[in-house]
Chain A
Amino acid sequence: MGNSLSIENVSAGYGSVTVLSDVSVHAGDGETVVLLGTNGNGKTTLMRCITGQVVPSRGTIVAEIDGERHNLIGLSTEEIVDLGISLVPEGRRLFPRLTVEENLTLGAYRQSARERIAASMDFCFEVFPRLKERRTQLAGSMSGGEQQMLALARALMASPKILLIDEPSVGLAPILVARMIDKIAELKTALGLTVMMAEQNFEQAARIANRGYVLVHGQVAFAADSVDDLRNSDVVRRLYLGVG
């Protein structure tokens, strides 16, 4: 039974400003797909379209969850999360004056997730022992790295099938970026997730991605069937590898 995401010919923006035009992006069952693109090219906007925060003016977004197809356009953010699609958002969006434990608890808002809060929390604490040490600390008073772990763990508390991650590396030291990327790969395998990740750190993302897309000015400038194709593409070499 598959868990996949298909974005077809999506155009979207804010008010009269068009940000995405005719974007088609796909993540197949069990894949890790990376969205590359420098600042302001529409990665976050695409994540917002998938999660119902921005309604596209054109195109379709369809998710397949456990083999069942759902049209996501028109659904509210909370309905989309309830289907099994979780987002680790840009800026992390933790509840700053709630504790680590309370943030995790609320991560399990879905009815189906609420029944196994204790087990999910044990799992998160096993994956991120640091969060266990800090369970009673207010989320807002944690370091950037810890907050990113918490944001990821909170998204997992919903027991999603499809995990969207918006720039996990932002604000982290290089060593932490590598560790965060490793964790994502580890969790993806352990939980059988389908992952779509926006990232600017090409080398790190390339370590775990199966495929990728490069967004430039709100359009898919390059769609690659493998990481090697990405690496050898003109646009990636120009934007990320400093060649050409």
Chain B
Amino acid sequence: MTFSLDLFSNAIVSGILLGGFYCAIAVGITIVFGMLDIVNIAHPAFIMTGGFIAYFANTQFGIDPLAACAIAMIPAYYLGRLLYRFYNVAFEKRGEESLQGLAFFFGLLFIIEVALLLIFGVDYRFVEAPYIGPTIEIGFISIPWRLLIPLIVGLGLVLVIIAFLSRTFIGKAILAVSQDPLALRLVGGSPVKVKEVAFGLSIATAILAGALLIIIQPIEPSFGRDFIGRVFCITVLGGMTSLPGTIVASMILGVSESLTSTFLGPSWSPAIAFGLLLITLAVRPVGIFGR
């Protein structure tokens, strides 16, 4: 394939757009895995759940996918809190979180996937919205609205979470528990309660990311597995606890995938996340923004 400037520019632009979406899928893992040490590999299953919530609300009631998931974030937050409480009692309290906890989330991933399969079947499902279809053309660069919206929402989501963590009391407590849980207890805070809030928040972000996913492309239930490598790659590359790092790492992954898929073919792009993950671990294990 010959190199051409307009192909290259378009690949960069779609990479950035994709990166915006990746911010939304990874931010929850940065909170839960990066800050709280919980290996929630079921996170992508919650993203898929969000996608199907958007699909259901859109096809049944004609509700906008983003609006549907924005509302669904509220019950998802409480569901996430319950889930953490269970995880804490069943695994964390007994000090069995590393292996058995991992197995638990692995099981959860499959259970959710199977449940979605039983409910929605194996066909690709999609949504309708006014911004799916039209494209903005600037010179030879084209920006589809269905990718621009996820960029805006994805970036916005991370910025809101950054503000939440740095401005609110409970947000500061979440940062504190990630740095020293015993010190939090010594000022009178309960690490379990604080982590519960953070976990709920993480699940809520997954639901919103699901809406963005189904806006970008049609989905089917087993799709979520493709994102496991990506979300962990972004969190590690970004420096585990750093949310600005999550944004930068999302952009790097998005652009790398887009360039590879343009110039080497789309079948390569799933390998990029694992490639980046390995390079990061080999060259700079603390990530870009790590300390």
Is A98 within 8 A of B175, CB to CB?
yes
Is A96 within 8 A of B179, CB to CB?
yes
Is A95 within 8 A of B183, CB to CB?
yes
Is B176 within 8 A of A98, CB to CB?
yes
Stretch at the interface among A56-64, A107-115, A118-126, A235-243: A107-115
A-B contact count (CB 8 A): 66
Give Cα A94 to B291, complex, Å: 17
Q: Which of B175, B182, B186, B190 has the most CB of A within 10 A?
A: B186
Chain A residues lying within 8 Å of B173, measured Cβ to Cβ, are 106, 109
Give Cα A55 to B169, complex, Å: 30
Give Cα A95 to B173, complex, Å: 10
Give Cα A114 to B173, complex, Å: 13
Q: Which of B183, B188, B190, B291 has the most CB of A within 10 A?
A: B188
Is B190 within 8 A of A93, CB to CB?
no
| CB closest chain-A residue, reference B189 | A109
User: Does A203 lie at the interface of the complex (its beta carbon under 8 Å from any beta carbon of B)?
Assistant: no
The distance from the CB of B193 to the nearest CB of chain A, in whole angstroms, is: 9
Is B186 within 8 A of A106, CB to CB?
no
A78-B189, A93-B186, A102-B175 given. 20 additional CB < 8 A pairs? Answer: A53-B182, A78-B188, A81-B187, A82-B188, A95-B179, A97-B175, A97-B179, A98-B179, A102-B176, A106-B169, A106-B189, A107-B187, A109-B173, A109-B184, A109-B187, A114-B169, A154-B187, A157-B187, A158-B187, A158-B188
Q: List 11 A-B residue pairs with CB atoms under 8 Å apart, sorted by A's residue number.
A: A76-B190, A77-B186, A78-B188, A81-B188, A87-B186, A95-B175, A95-B179, A97-B291, A102-B176, A106-B169, A110-B188
Interface residues of B (CB under 8 A from A): 169, 172-173, 175-176, 179-180, 182-190, 291
